[in-house]
Amino acid sequence: MTDEVEQEIQSLIRKLSGYRKPIEASTSVNLDVGLDGDDAYELLETIQRRFGTSFDSLDWHKYFHSEADCDFLSLWLRKFMGHKDTRQRLTFQRLLEVVKNGVWIES
């Protein structure tokens, strides 16, 4: 994976999320950066268009909420009503591996 590809994906993540901290290999795109709902969909859709990566076998709900579950009230209720976030981490490194391989394979 070239540095240009990594930088392009980091730039896209920053654009969609406003995240300003360093994005390391272990940074979770969904949990640390906070990409979720439509923004996460736009990230994966842009990667698919730009690099030809297939996310067809991605189990969306393992990693992301739907946009309807991303509104303030839903987030507040989950946080303050004691609902545990069961989403799995999607690290930047994992995302780069998927782009390199060209297809999402559940690990």
| Angstrom distance (rounded) from CA 37 to CA 2 | 28
The reply to whether 57 falls in a domain is: yes
Say what the pLDDT of residue 76 is. Answer: 52
- Count of domains for the chain: 1
Say what the pLDDT of residue 78 is. Answer: 55
Continuous H helices in 3-91: 3-17, 37-51, 60-63, 72-80
Say what the pLDDT of residue 65 is. Answer: 76
The reply to whether 107 falls in a domain is: no
Task: Tell me how far CA of residue 13 lies from CA of 44, 78, 80, 106, in angstroms.
Answer: 10, 25, 28, 22
The reply to whether 106 falls in a domain is: no
Q: Which range marks the domain in which residue 30 is found?
A: 3-101
Say what the pLDDT of residue 87 is. Answer: 78
Say what the pLDDT of residue 74 is. Answer: 53
Say what the pLDDT of residue 67 is. Answer: 52
Residues in the chain where the model's pLDDT stays below 50: 68, 70, 73
Say what the pLDDT of residue 2 is. Answer: 75
Q: What is the pLDDT of residues 72-98, one digit of tens each?
A: 545 555 566 666 667 799 999 999 999
